[in-house]
Structure 1
Amino acid sequence: MTQINGSSFALDVQDVQVAGDRWATADTGGSSSPLVLLHGGGQTRHSWDHSAADLAAGGHEVYTLDARGHGDSAWAPDGNYEIDAFAADLLGAIDALDLTEPVLIGASLGGITSLCVVGENPGVASALVLVDVVVDVEPKGIDRIKKFMSDHVGGFESLDDVADAIAVYNPERKRTRNLDGLRKNVRQRDDGRWYWHWDPAFIASGEEARRHTDPERLGAAARKVTVPTLIVRGGKSDVVSDAGIESMLKLVPHAEVADVSAAGHMVAGDDNQVFADAIKEFLTRNKL
């Protein structure tokens, strides 16, 4: 059963409940394609808040979803965090929300999920935006992400410690002074410590990186993508390289590339305005 109340909603798909937000403006008018934004591993839908508001103000109905095991979505009861589960959740959400050919915009894990869904399910989407996502990623960048997530499974003593850890991982971004804003990404448990808003089982497997970045499956999906496609690359990303972009364009020759030079792997958070502008220009060019 689907329940939508105001901007927030919950969807029962497969074996989990998926949480999300709907962003809309009075001038949407139903003529523009709906947008579905999917966050990266270890993040929540709130990583899109600024971008979603900007895109909605431009006339699009926007949906941001928490992946299973992340944010306010339920943890997988059987610990299933394979790409098949994420893809099936996305397809279930599109169906439950009664969306017709939405534009899928995904970062990192959300981009990998979107790529699989679009390539393996022709007609499900009208366009695809991959945010710092290619088939041939840089292993060192993936390992750094995994280490950051694994190092803090035991939680933090304070929100200041959370801010410090984020600043160390992403030194290019100014350390946040709004500690209350971090409450969207962490939970305080009964022991008084602050924990990330994701299920530790997501990162528990030593094969996590391989499971979510299987180049054989992603390459096969990419070759079948026919809808307009945009790759938004973080100029300072350690996950996507020039070689990765080059090989991606061989798989999806019609894809466009937008380089957000001041951003790292977390493109939307690092330079939201340039990111949002690149998306809006792509949507306008393709009359979406």
Structure 2
Amino acid sequence: MTDAPDEFSFLAEQARDAGVEGSLPRVRRLTTEAAGRGAISALAWGDAPPAITLLHGAGLNAHTWDVTVLASGMPALAIDLPGHGDSAWRADADYRARVIAPDVAAAIETWTEGPQLLVGHSLGGLTAAAVAALRPDLVSRLVIIDITPGIDPAAGPSQIRRFFAGPTDFASRDDLVERALAFGLGGSRRAAERGVFLNSRVRPDGRVEWKHHFAHLAAAALAVPSGAAVQAPAPALSEGGWDDLAATTAPVTLLRGERGYVTPEDAREFARRVPTASIETLPAGHNVQEEMPGALGARIRTLATA
């Protein structure tokens, strides 16, 4: 596979494949420091101040929203969560939503000029709820995609866990593409190549590694010898999530994929605990933003302008 010249080289192709018409908006990468914990990075879309801010799920990065943002036609900010994309890995490897929320909130405050329609998928949804509770002044509406605090976002399909728990570095991006396809991930080869390019980096020694820290954490967890003492697991990434939603003053919308992680029972529990929330079911799996980005972009636009 030949590396694309830069991270934005796929946008025209993605827009064409998704049927998004018109000229592409300006998009640029932003970086700031997170109170001594390293860089926080993001993509800023459009020339106007962002109206929507998007937070991706575990193991993904800001580019998961590319087509959704294009379809929305809105100025937007897509943040790489700590430990993902071009944001720094935390020295303590603690990626609980409440732990990373202050750095995410600081980034939103730095790069926006008013309350945001805050959209979060999976771990990003739990983080968005934590941000909304911590900094209500930054959030006009909260949209959570296919996650509730009753579900651990690190406990997805075993296939995904095995995929990321493999080697932590590879000889080339082609090796990563082949691994993804062997696990039935990535869709077409072209889509897998694009996803690998945007979610990996070449180290100074020439080896290729995933940009997200979770691959190293998953591999380390599986490397514990049989019978050895195992460190107590960290609290669930969703710890405190129901309290965060209870403290959220902005309107809340849950978008669940009918084949995703949020079951009908989970949705009913969400409605019981957050009675003012609206809940919608979409014909998709967990990664709604990648399965139906056009429809999701249109729905986000409607919510942003309601």
> How far apart are the structure 2 equivalents of 1:75 and 1:139?
18
* 1:90-148 per-position Cα deviation (integer Å, ceiling 9, x unaligned): 11112222432111111111111011121343333100010111122278953637724
> How far apart are the structure 1 equivalents of 2:246 and 2:159?
27
1:48 alignment partner in structure 2:
65
> How far apart are the structure 2 equivalents of 1:138 and 1:40?
12
1:73 alignment partner in structure 2:
87
TM-score when normalising by structure 2: 0.76
CA gap 1:265/1:76 in 2 versus in 1, 3 angstroms: same
2:233 alignment partner in structure 1:
207
> What SS does the corresponding residue of 2:243 show, helix, strand or coil?
helix
Equivalent residues in 2 for 1:245-256, closer than 5 Å: 245-256=267-278
Deviates more, 1:223-232 or 1:189-198: 189-198
CA gap 1:176/1:260 in 2 versus in 1, 3 angstroms: farther
1:110 alignment partner in structure 2:
124
> What SS does the corresponding residue of 2:44 show, helix, strand or coil?
strand
2:169 alignment partner in structure 1:
155
* 1:183-223 per-position Cα deviation (integer Å, ceiling 9, x unaligned): 11112335654321112565556735x43122xx1111112
CA gap 1:270/1:176 in 2 versus in 1, 3 angstroms: farther
Do 1:68 and 1:86's aligned partners in 2 also have CA atoms closer than 8 Å? Answer: yes
Do 1:83 and 1:211's aligned partners in 2 also have CA atoms closer than 8 Å? Answer: no
CA gap 1:141/1:240 in 2 versus in 1, 3 angstroms: farther
Offset, 1:181: 4.9
- Give yes or no for the alignment of 1:17 onto 2:34: no
Q: Tell me which amino acid in the other structure corresponds to 1:71.
A: G
- Give yes or no for the alignment of 1:176 onto 2:189: yes
Unaligned runs of 5+ in 1: none
Do 1:148 and 1:169's aligned partners in 2 also have CA atoms closer than 8 Å? Answer: no
- Given the alignment, which residue of 78, 90, 110 partners 1:64? 78
CA gap 1:138/1:116 in 2 versus in 1, 3 angstroms: closer
Unaligned runs of 5+ in 2: 1-25, 222-231
Q: Deviating runs (4+, > 6 A) in structure 1?
A: none
2:137 alignment partner in structure 1:
123
Equivalent residues in 2 for 1:186-201, closer than 5 Å: 186-189=200-203, 192-200=206-214
* 1:44-97 per-position Cα deviation (integer Å, ceiling 9, x unaligned): 111111112222x2xx32001111121111222343433333101111112222
TM-score when normalising by structure 1: 0.80
* 1:250-272 per-position Cα deviation (integer Å, ceiling 9, x unaligned): 122122222221x2111101121
User: CA RMSD of the aligned region, Å?
Assistant: 2.9
2:15 alignment partner in structure 1:
none
> How far apart are the structure 2 equivalents of 1:23 and 1:166?
29
Do 2:153 and 2:237's aligned partners in 1 also have CA atoms closer than 8 Å? Answer: no
2:289 alignment partner in structure 1:
268
> How far apart are the structure 2 equivalents of 1:139 and 1:13?
24
Q: Tell me which amino acid in the other structure corresponds to 2:196.
A: L
- Give yes or no for the alignment of 1:225 onto 2:248: yes
Deviates more, 1:187-196 or 1:266-275: 187-196
Q: Tell me which amino acid in the other structure corresponds to 1:53.
A: L
> How far apart are the structure 2 equivalents of 1:127 and 1:116?
13
Q: Tell me which amino acid in the other structure corresponds to 1:111.
A: G
Do 2:38 and 2:88's aligned partners in 1 also have CA atoms closer than 8 Å? Answer: yes
Q: How many pairs align? A: 267
Equivalent residues in 2 for 1:128-139, closer than 5 Å: 128-137=142-151
> What SS does the corresponding residue of 2:236 show, helix, strand or coil?
helix
2:107 alignment partner in structure 1:
93
CA gap 1:122/1:138 in 2 versus in 1, 3 angstroms: closer
- Give yes or no for the alignment of 1:38 onto 2:60: no
> How many percent identity over aligned positions?
24
Do 2:54 and 2:65's aligned partners in 1 also have CA atoms closer than 8 Å? Answer: yes
Do 2:152 and 2:238's aligned partners in 1 also have CA atoms closer than 8 Å? Answer: no
